[in-house]
Amino acid sequence: MAMRWECFLLGMLAVAVCKHTVATLVTEGVELKVIWPNPRTINMAMANFGVPKYGGTLRGNLVYFSDEARYYKNTSYRCHPRDCRYGCDLHTSSPPIKIDKEPGTAYIMMVDRGPRDSDKVDACYFLDKVYNAQLLGADMVLVADDKEEALTTAVAPDTNDTAIERRNLTASAAMIGKNDADFLREQLGDGKTVLVMVSWAKSIPESNLVSWEYWTGTTDSCGNVCSERVEFTKAIYKQAMKLEQLSLTAFTPRYFLYDCKEGTVNTPECQSNCFSNGRYCAEPSGDYTGKDVLRMNIRAKCLYRQAKAKLNGYVWWEYMARFFEACSMSRGQYNAECAGTVFDTLAKEYDIGTRTEWDQCATGVNETAPTIEILEDDLISQLGNATSPPLAPVLILPTIRINGGQYRGSLEASPVLRALCAAFPDGHEPAVCNEIWVSDDECQGPHGEGYIKCNVGNSNGMTGCINTFKGYQCTCGSGFQMIMNPEAYFEETCKDINECAVSTTPYRESACRCDRCACINNIGSYKCTGPRENQCTPENNYGGCWHGTYENVTFTNCIDTIAEYKQKSYMGILQDNDTWHKCGECPKCFRSISLGCEYLCSPSQVCDVMYNTCIDQQSGGERTPNGGKAPSASVGVHPGLMILVALGAAALTGGVVMATNHIMMKKRMADEIRDIMSSYMPLQEEHARNPPSAAGQGPSSGNRGGYQERIIRPDEDSDEEGRVGAYGWSTGQPAAASAVLKAGAGAVPTLMGASQRAAWAPPTSATAGTAPVPGAGPMFSSPSPSAAAAAPLKPIAPKPTVDAFGGAEDERPQSMAPPAGDADPLLGRQVASSSSSVQKSSGEENPFR
Ligand SMILES: *[C@@H]1O[C@H](CO)[C@@H](O)[C@H](O)[C@H]1NC(C)=O
Ligand SMILES: *[C@@H]1O[C@H](CO)[C@@H](O)[C@H](O)[C@H]1NC(C)=O
Ligand SMILES: *[C@@H]1O[C@H](CO)[C@@H](O)[C@H](O)[C@H]1NC(C)=O
Ligand SMILES: *[C@@H]1O[C@H](CO)[C@@H](O)[C@H](O)[C@H]1NC(C)=O
Ligand SMILES: *[C@@H]1O[C@H](CO)[C@@H](O)[C@H](O)[C@H]1NC(C)=O
Ligand SMILES: *[C@@H]1O[C@H](CO)[C@@H](O)[C@H](O)[C@H]1NC(C)=O
Ligand SMILES: *[C@@H]1O[C@H](CO)[C@@H](O)[C@H](O)[C@H]1NC(C)=O
């Protein structure tokens, strides 16, 4: 029964096929040009398998192994014809033939059709020839016809064996006529080089809104053709839906129809598989009749139509993907009920109209009416009407028509998307087209054209390569930006990006962002320093600077310049060899001597840092040199005044620094940096946070209270430059110098902001040793750097990139569906119709060989 049906179908189809073959199956707009030595344009018919390079061109050497072919450049090798001319085998010649490939060169291999009418050698499939040539290294395979006749579309037979080959095929394939093949053989002569170019650039009509049709079916139980259809649907539906949602494409699903003319209407086959007296027929599949299939196709068409009315026609893709998943024929789920379940789940997510509307559309079809509108639509699209044949009639399944033009190639997401991309005008391709699984990646090293051309011999720093749909683009490498060089006629050059200054990216890394971290710009990149340890500590030997201990207090001229260091970082001028400390001037009450500093005060004196002078301890605060005093009367005025002055100075300094920042840095960084900088701006922080109550509390400091803050800031010189230095690092009990410093300390609150400073007095030295100051508390606290850390940079939310195709891996096809194949291998020269429709015809014409 099955066999009879198939033969019968072929009979039906022969009519349709013969009617259109000659007129339409010629070149599909793909051109083969001989470039050298003798130019000529050659017609080709693309095969229905392989991977065509839509939108692209392929330029390379023609390869053809005649029976006398030399290979490995060895004249004594003789090639077995089955291997060489016909490409049916690879192993009968010894040593096995191989294309001597030069890297970076494409090879277009010609093989002969056949052999035909030969008792000795069996012909082999087109597919085998192409696959074998690919194994030899061919990028494209031309099958030379052996008779002068109209070109036909080569089809791959649908068997389990050939499925593997089709799946592994990456070359594209086409057939050329005998005359052209003879011309090529002549050109090749005795091992000459022939340069050819194949262009798919204009093979698909272009438009801004690409309309396309996918001819398919709802059945999933017809061998490889069906499983490839299912795979393809699953692989491409997300991309297809997104293209629709972005209004880049206008997609129409189509269902292939057979007819039952020629007086066969009353046969059982026609009765069970056709509507409308044999006008619309579908192939039976699995346990289901053609009528069952037609009904299911109508349901899918109805869904498409009513969803499209809501501008959601693309939901058809998801419907089909879910339908194949849930309503498999092999599991006996191919029925209206299952389809309805799929509809209901989709209706929850998308506006696709109501279930009632859908059911009415599907069941309202009068199966005996002379015409059924919803099917007639596909039929006219398939074959045209009496007066206007379609641009590309649909004779083979699967078929994809793009802008009315025929897609030829395997039914896989990648080549189909590529063909869709080729239908957009140059430069208007959707983003997915530039992705390397869709278009060739010329930037791929080491042989990619872009990889080579962008990297080599380019003096202006362009070392980056961006893959585009129709080629590649050389750009500045990462870490560089394009600038016009006014000194060189505005030539475009690539300039290093100073990431530390113009970008917040480095400061999102904790190794650049932390309190004592900084960013160093490199050519093409940047480097985070990680925490830079304070060098002015005993452990670090005071950075190699002078230090000396007097009365248990160690003094040093080492200055921690981390703030300056960080400022350089923000300005992008920090260098690897910059240091974050320096050996400065001698501390107050010290004088510079040849090998360091010398303390000036006698044991009975203490240092008044404010006035840089030694004063008698006993005199309770009177200065020795000028005997001047700070009468308590004036002290009453001083504290507030001093603080005001200090605040003013701080504001001024801060203002200047901030102004500088604004000029130096990009505006968008300012806020983040201000946060950080503020913790390194000693003056304003200090004074602002040190309340007036800090002054004048201790008995002996009463008359000096107003100067507290000044006195405890031995590093005031540096402050104006925005850096903080620590002249002293206490090692024990406070001594003479610190005695004064400690005056009134009991009331001095801990200065939490001064995190970066080395403490003049240790945080824990709570009592005022020799100093006649009661209750001296910690003057400075040195909290862990993080406590007063700069507010961490708020990461700027990355701009959402609009990528219709979702960079997400899971949205790409997981696996490339195997190309669609076709029926059984047989000798015959007609274009095959659908899948199993061409079976075992005993004729000699065969689309497979
Ligand atoms: C060519 O092949 C023959 C037979 O294998 C071998 O003896 C000869 O050395 C080869 N010649 C060259 C140039 O490789
Ligand atoms: C082809 O493979 C499928 C499973 O992969 C198997 O069910 C089927 O029987 C095979 N067909 C032939 C002809 O070997
Ligand atoms: C097909 O390709 C896969 C990997 O892509 C490989 O493992 C397999 O061996 C190939 N099959 C044939 C028949 O070459
Ligand atoms: C279906 O169409 C046939 C032929 O036009 C007609 O005779 C029949 O009444 C129709 N059936 C229904 C239910 O409309
Ligand atoms: C055939 O189709 C064309 C275009 O689709 C249309 O303009 C024409 O009217 C149709 N002719 C007939 C006889 O239906
Ligand atoms: C210095 O420290 C030592 C030990 O901590 C102590 O014995 C000594 O009295 C201190 N000297 C002065 C002057 O504070
Ligand atoms: C740091 O290195 C740069 C070049 O790498 C050099 O020009 C500069 O003088 C060096 N600076 C110091 C302080 O060594």
Query: 192 falls in which pLDDT band (50, 70, 90)?
Result: confident
**Confidence at residue 65, expressed as pLDDT on a 0 to 100 scale:** 84
Return the structure tokens found at 843. Answer: 């004729």
Spacing, Cα 274 to ligand 4 middle (Å): 16
Instruction: Please state which of the ranges 19-33, 176-190, 335-349, 583-597 shows the lowest mean pLDDT.
Output: 19-33
Give 312-351 pLDDT, tens digit per residue: 999 999 999 999 999 999 889 999 999 999 999 999 999 9
Unique residue bearing structure tokens 């879910």: 322
* Tokens describing residue 9: 């179908």
Residue 177: C-alpha distances to residues 147, 163, 194, 322, 459 (Å): 8, 27, 18, 44, 48
Contact 96, 127 (CB under 8 A): no
User: Letter for the amino acid at 343?
Assistant: F
Give the other-Cβ count within 10 Å of 762's Cβ.
20
Mean pLDDT for 803-825 is: 31
Q: Tens digit of pLDDT for each residue in 501-550?
A: 888 889 999 999 898 999 999 887 899 999 999 999 999 999 999 888 88
The two tokens of residue 600 are 């000036």
3-state secondary structure of 513: helix
Q: Which ligand is nearest to the CA of 730?
A: 6
- How remote is the CA of residue 368 from the centroid of ligand 4, in Å? 6
Instruction: Locate the ligand 6 atom nearest the alpha carbon of residue 735 and give its number.
Output: 14
Query: How far does residue 74's CA lie from ligand 1's centre (Å)?
Result: 6
Among the listed residues 414, 421, 409, the one whose alpha carbon sits nearest the alpha carbon of residue 173: 409
* Ligand 1 neighbours by CB, cut-off 6 Å: 74, 76-77
* 737, amino acid identity: A
Examine the pLDDT at 36 and tell me if it is beyond 90: no
What H or E segment, with its residue span, contains residue 678? helix 670-678
Average pLDDT, stretch 482-504?
78
- Is residue 116 exposed (0-12), middle (13-18) or buried (19+ Cβ within 10 Å)? middle
> Which atom of ligand 5 is closest in space to residue 386's alpha carbon?
13
Which residue's CA is the nearest one to ligand 1's atom 6? 76
Quote the pTM value: 0.55
pLDDT band (50, 70, 90) for residue 28 = low
| Contact (CB, 8 A) for 238 and 811 | yes
String of DSSP letters for 285-323 = BTTB-HHHHHHHHHHHHHHHHHHHHTT-TTHHHHHHHHH
**Which residue's CA is the nearest one to ligand 7's atom 12?**
577
d(CA 216, CA 243): 19
User: DSSP class of residue 600?
Assistant: -
| pLDDT tier, 152 (very low <50, low <70, confident <90, very high otherwise) | confident
Quick one: DSSP state of residue 96? Answer: P
Which ligand places an atom closest to the C-alpha of 131? Answer: 3
Which pLDDT score, from 0 to 100, does residue 140 have?
Answer: 93
| Amino acid in position 478 | S
Q: What are phi and psi of 301, to 5 degrees?
A: -65, -40
Beta bridge partners of 592: 597
Instruction: Report whether residue 736 contacts ligand 6, using a CB cutoff of 6 Å.
Output: no
CA of 614 to the centre of ligand 5 (A): 111
Mean per-residue pLDDT, 633-662:
38
3-state SS, one letter per residue, for 126-173: HHHHHHHHHHHCCCEEEEECCCCCCCCCCCCECCHHHHHHHHHCCCEE
- Whether 388 is in the pocket of ligand 5, judged by its Cβ within 6 Å, is yes
What's the Cα-to-Cα distance from 518 to each of 428, 747, 753, rounded to whole Å? 43, 36, 20
Average pLDDT rounded to a whole number, residues 237-256: 91
CB burial of residue 78 (10 Å; 0-12, 13-18, 19+): middle
Coil/strand/helix, residue 358: helix
* Ligand 3 pocket residues where CB is under 6 Å: 164, 168
- Atom 10, ligand 1: residue with shortest CA distance: 74
Q: Domains, the chain, ranges and CATH?
A: 26-203 (3.50.30.30), 210-422 (3.40.30.10), 545-631+639-747 (no CATH)
Task: Compute CA distances 281 → 16, 229, 255, 289, 360, whole Å.
Answer: 14, 20, 11, 10, 22
Give the pLDDT of residue 847. Answer: 62
Confidence of residue 632 (pLDDT cuts 50, 70, 90): very low
Which tokens in the block code for residue 466? Answer: 């961006």
Give the residue, out of 371, 383, 385, with the most ligand 5 atoms within 8 A of its beta carbon, to mutate for a pocket test. Answer: 385
Q: At what angle do helices 315-326 and 336-349 cross, to 10 degrees?
A: 140
Residue 202 tokens read as 């204009």
Q: What is the pLDDT of residues 694-749, one digit of tens each?
A: 333 333 333 333 222 222 223 333 333 333 333 333 333 333 333 333 333 333 32
* Secondary structure class of 369 (helix, strand, coil): coil
- Nearest alpha carbon to residue 64 among 167, 180, 201, 200: 180
Report the pocket of ligand 4 as residue ranges, CB < 6 Å. Answer: 366, 368-369
- Determine which residue's CA is closest to atom 3 belonging to ligand 4: 369
Q: Which ligand 6 atom is the nearest neighbour of the CA of 769?
A: 14
Say how many Å lie between the first and final Cα of the chain, rounded.
27
For residue range 567-579, what is the model confidence (pLDDT) as tens digits? 999 988 999 899 9
Other Cβ atoms closer than 10 A to 594: 5
Residue by residue, what is the 3-state secondary structure of 98-133?
A: CCCCCCCCEEEEEEECCCCCCCCCCCCCHHHHHHHH
Helices and strands per DSSP (H, E), number in the chain = 22, 28
Q: Quote the ligand 6 centre to 551 CA distance (angstroms).
A: 7
Model confidence over 735-753: pLDDT tens digits?
333 333 333 333 332 223 2
| Any ligand 6 atom below 6 A from CB of 603 | no
DSSP assignment of 681-692 equals: -HHHHHHHHS-G
The residue nearest atom 7 of ligand 1, judged by CA position, is 76
pLDDT surpasses 90 at 660: no
Atom 9 of ligand 5, residue of closest alpha carbon = 387
Cβ–Cβ < 8 Å for 129, 111: yes
Whether pLDDT at 408 is above 60:
yes
- 107 CA → ligand 1 middle, Å: 24
- Number of the ligand 3 atom closest to the C-alpha atom of 135: 14
pLDDT (0 to 100) of residue 532: 93
Distance 104 CA to ligand 1 centre (A): 27
Establish whether residue 75 lines the binding site of ligand 7, counting it when its CB lies within 6 angstroms of any ligand atom: no
CB 42 within 8 Å of CB 34: yes
Classify the C-alpha dihedral 534-538-544-545 as positive or negative. positive
Quick one: which ligand is closest to 226's CA? 2
With vertex at residue 837, the alpha carbon angle to CA 362 and CA 7, rounded to the nearest 5 degrees, is 115
Whose Cα sits closest to atom 12 in ligand 6? 551
Ligand nearest to the CA of 385: 5
Cis peptide before 115 (omega within 30 of 0): yes
The three state secondary structure string of 435-463 is CCCCCCCCCCCCCCHHHHHHHCCCCCCCC
Beta bridge partners of 108: 62, 140
Tell me how far the alpha carbon of residue 304 lies from the centroid of ligand 5, in angstroms: 23
Closest ligand 3 atom, residue 165 Cα: 13
| Ligand with minimal distance to 168 CA | 3
> What is the Å distance from ligand 4's center to 334 Cα?
27
**What integer best gives the mean pLDDT of the chain?**
70
Ligand 3: which atom is nearest the Cα of residue 164?
Answer: 13
* Separation CA 104–CA 109 (nearest Å): 16
Q: How far is the CA of 822 from the centre of ligand 2 (A)?
A: 15
**Which distant-in-sequence residues (6+ apart) come within 8 Å of 76 by Cβ?**
none
Q: CA 771, CA 790: separation in Å to the nearest integer? A: 36
CA of 127 to the centre of ligand 3 (A): 15
Question: 58 pLDDT exceeds 60?
Answer: yes
Closest residue (by CA) to atom 6 of ligand 3? 168
Distance between CA 538 and CA 731 in Å, rounded? Answer: 9
Confirm or reject: Cβ of 801 under 6 Å from ligand 7: no
Nearest C-alpha to atom 5 of ligand 3 is from which residue?
A: 168
Q: Which atom of ligand 7 is nearest to the CA of 578?
A: 13
Q: Please state the atom number of ligand 5 nearest to the C-alpha of residue 385.
A: 1
As a whole number, mean pLDDT of residues 773-787 equals: 32
Ligand nearest to the CA of 815: 3
State the DSSP H helix or E strand holding residue 709, giving kind and residue range, or none if neither.
helix 708-711
pLDDT (tens digit per residue) in 107-125 = 999 999 988 766 666 778 8
**Ligand 6 within 6 A of 733 CB?**
yes
Determine the distance separating the centroid of ligand 5 and the alpha carbon of 399, expressed in angstroms.
Answer: 22
* pLDDT over threshold 60, residue 85: yes
Q: Which of 577, 579, 583 to mutate to test the pocket of ligand 7 (most atoms within 8 A of CB)?
A: 577
Q: How far apart are CA 793 and CA 676, in angstroms?
A: 8
- What is the share, in percent, of the chain residues with pLDDT greater than 90? 24
Among all chains, which residue has been given the structure tokens 């002249």? 727
Question: Crossing angle of helices 290-309/336-349, nearest 10°?
Answer: 10
Dist CA 446 CA 443 (whole Å): 9
pLDDT at site 467: 79
Model confidence at 558: pLDDT above 80: yes
Say how far apart CA 773 and CA 771 lie, in whole Å.
5
The pLDDT-based confidence of 69 (bands split at 50, 70, 90) is: low
Distance from Cα 83 to the centre of ligand 1, integer Å:
19
Look up residue 152 and give its two tokens.
């036909």
The residue with greater pLDDT, 382 or 834, is: 382
**Continuous H helices in 439-561:** 449-455, 499-502, 510-513
For the CA of 552, the nearest atom of ligand 6:
1
Return the ligand number nearest the Cα of 277. Answer: 4
Q: Which residues of 84-93 are buried (b: 16+ CB within 10 A; e: fewer)?
A: bbbbbbbeeb
**Ligand 3 centroid to residue 168 C-alpha, Å:** 6
Q: How far is the CA of 378 from the centre of ligand 5 (A)?
A: 14
For the record, the structure tokens of 712 come out as 């405890």
Residue 9 to residue 282: CA distance in whole angstroms: 10
Peptide bond just before 772 cis, omega within 30 deg = no
Ligand approaching nearest to the C-alpha of 128: 3
Q: Where are the beta strands (DSSP E) in 732-811?
A: none
Mutate to test the pocket of ligand 6, among 549, 550, 551, 552 (most ligand atoms within 8 A of CB): 552
Measured N-to-C along each axis, helices 315-326 and 224-245 cross at an angle, to the nearest 10 degrees, of 150
Tokens of 550: 């007097």
